[in-house]
Structure 1
Amino acid sequence: MEKIVHTGSSRGQANFGWLNSKHTFSFGHYHNSERMSFGVLRVLNDDIVIGGAGFPTHPHSNMEIISIPLSGALAHRDSTGTEKVINTGEVQIMSAGSGLTHSEYNASKTEEVNFLQIWILPREENIKPRYDQKVFNSEERKNAVQTVVSPDEAKSLWINQNAWLSLSDLDAEKSITYTLHGEGNGLYCFVIDGQIEVEGEVLRKRDAIGISDTDSAEVMAIADSKLLFIEVPMTYD
């Protein structure tokens, strides 16, 4: 097993007033040659946007983009004609594919929105752009692993990659085993809140650990914790 720990305090930061963003991997003005990606996981940004502000229309192509609001709501619009509001409790995915433009704004004029923005390199390039979002029952991740994004559209939001994104809410002193789905995949565990121990490493709020060369990982909650698991191929063909 190989492990790499990224503490929350070691992330890059960009604060533009309207946007305060923490970057786990190199992004924008933050560049760290040792923090370019974890396998095909290219971006994990922790964004806070003030009321009434947001990202104006901009292009993307050949990227799987997932947004997970942690508090507040996002207003989404893109060139496929999709206009949606993504609320806390929902997960959004957009396959940029052959190319599109989109914007993301805080749906509130007064309250902040905090959301995770995740970019994953696609399995197949230049597919037709695609958008989806879904509400997930939080009770189904209580002391369990709830898959929210996977290659199986029947069970979750579909992603154009051999990747799985899952959420878990663990009570203190509870433990779970995450079993990887894909051969050659690695697991990136991000602590949204709380404190956990993973394979001998203690992680706190906004810390993360990347684990590869293993079939499973043991996770124990030291305090009540909210977790995001991102399982991805470690190589990109």
Structure 2
Amino acid sequence: MSMALYAGSDRSSETVKGRLTSHSFSFGPHYDPANLGFGPLVCHNDDLLDPSASAVAGYPEHPHTELEIVTWVLEGALVHTDSSGHRHVVEAGRAQVLSAGTGVRHSEVADARSGRCRFVQAWLTPSAPGAEPSYALGEAPPPSSDLVAVAGDDGLPIGTTGARLLVARLSAGESVALPGDPRQHVFAATGAVSLDGLDLHLGDAVRLTDEPGRVVTATAPTELLVWSFSA
């Protein structure tokens, strides 16, 4: 059993014109052999895009293979385009899943009409490699102080067995019980929460292993993202 706090201020970061990215795990040139992933979760990036600073704020077209790429938009809107013919504007409060499979190219840039964009993107290893690429976009769930599955379970399909992304929007003083799955990644996307004596602020995360029954209490209005893994 373990519960480890990872401060948002300790994340490595990358700044290019119009984009600031914070990496929760070892990523690209920011190599950390002690922080390569958490179960099937191998990337958890927090991106802030500013279209007023660049004509293309975000990620121009680039390739991926054998990844489940799950994006949750926190602010503004993100324009997704891929080589399978999908083009969607993903507004705040919606999730998308791109299953790269045998290979896909995509771009993700801020929708300049919506101003600044912030999103969190996770990469997971698929359970069955070799699938054809696929894409899914979810409807915005109503705000809830309960943890709602936006990917996995009743949310968008993910090609990683037992993985699900849960979201809760908590007012100050509200509490929510975490799932009982053996592996959980709890991220304060906004606001601040308390978890059994640990205080989490914007960008902080806790990784739980075999720690069922934990309760999170918001100390400020908070958007909480929880990756939970049953397998």
The alignment's TM-score, normalised by the length of structure 2, stands at 0.92
Aligned mates of 2:127, 2:47 — CA distance in 1: 26
Aligned pair partner of 2:111 in 84, 103, 107: 107
**Are residue 79 (structure 1) and residue 83 (structure 2) matched?**
yes
Unaligned runs of 5+ in 1: none
Which amino acid counterpart does residue 60 of structure 1 have in structure 2? Answer: H
Q: Which residue of 2 aligns with 1:216?
A: 213
Which amino acid counterpart does residue 151 of structure 2 have in structure 1? Answer: V
Q: Which residue of 2 aligns with 1:199?
A: 196
Q: Which residue of 1 aligns with 2:61?
A: 57
Q: Is the 8 A contact 1:99 1:126 kept in 2?
A: no
Q: CA RMSD in A?
A: 1.6
Aligned mates of 2:228, 2:159 — CA distance in 1: 13
**Residues 159, 104 of structure 1: CA spacing in aligned structure 2 closer, same or farther, 3 A cutoff?**
same
Aligned mates of 1:50, 1:176 — CA distance in 2: 33
Q: Determine which structure has the larger strand proportion and give its number.
A: 1
Aligned mates of 2:45, 2:98 — CA distance in 1: 16
Write the deviation string for residues 55-106 of structure 1: whole angstroms up to 9, x where unpaired.
1211111100011111111111111111111111211111001111111121
State the 1:233 CA deviation: 5.7
Which amino acid counterpart does residue 148 of structure 1 have in structure 2? Answer: V
**Residues 219, 16 of structure 1: CA spacing in aligned structure 2 closer, same or farther, 3 A cutoff?**
same
**Are residue 227 (structure 1) and residue 221 (structure 2) matched?**
no
Q: Is the 8 A contact 2:180 2:212 kept in 1?
A: yes
Write the deviation string for residues 187-226 of structure 1: whole angstroms up to 9, x where unpaired.
0000011221113311111100000113332111222221
State the 1:168 CA deviation: 0.6
Q: Which residue of 2 aligns with 1:13?
A: 13
Which amino acid counterpart does residue 83 of structure 2 have in structure 1? Answer: S
Write the deviation string for residues 35-65 of structure 1: whole angstroms up to 9, x where unpaired.
2111111111111122131312111111000
**Are residue 156 (structure 1) and residue 160 (structure 2) matched?**
no
State the 1:113 CA deviation: 1.4
State the 1:17 CA deviation: 2.0
How many residues align structurally?
Answer: 226
Aligned mates of 2:230, 2:24 — CA distance in 1: 18
Q: Aligned to 1:228, what secondary structure does the other structure show?
A: strand
**Residues 233, 107 of structure 1: CA spacing in aligned structure 2 closer, same or farther, 3 A cutoff?**
same
Aligned pair partner of 2:146 in 144, 147, 161: 144
Aligned mates of 1:68, 1:135 — CA distance in 2: 12
Aligned mates of 1:72, 1:172 — CA distance in 2: 23
Which amino acid counterpart does residue 194 of structure 1 have in structure 2? Answer: G
Write the deviation string for residues 168-202 of structure 1: whole angstroms up to 9, x where unpaired.
11122221212235xxx400000011221113311
Which amino acid counterpart does residue 20 of structure 2 have in structure 1? Answer: N
Unaligned runs of 5+ in 2: none
**Are residue 117 (structure 1) and residue 121 (structure 2) matched?**
yes
Aligned mates of 2:212, 2:175 — CA distance in 1: 17
The alignment's TM-score, normalised by the length of structure 1, stands at 0.90
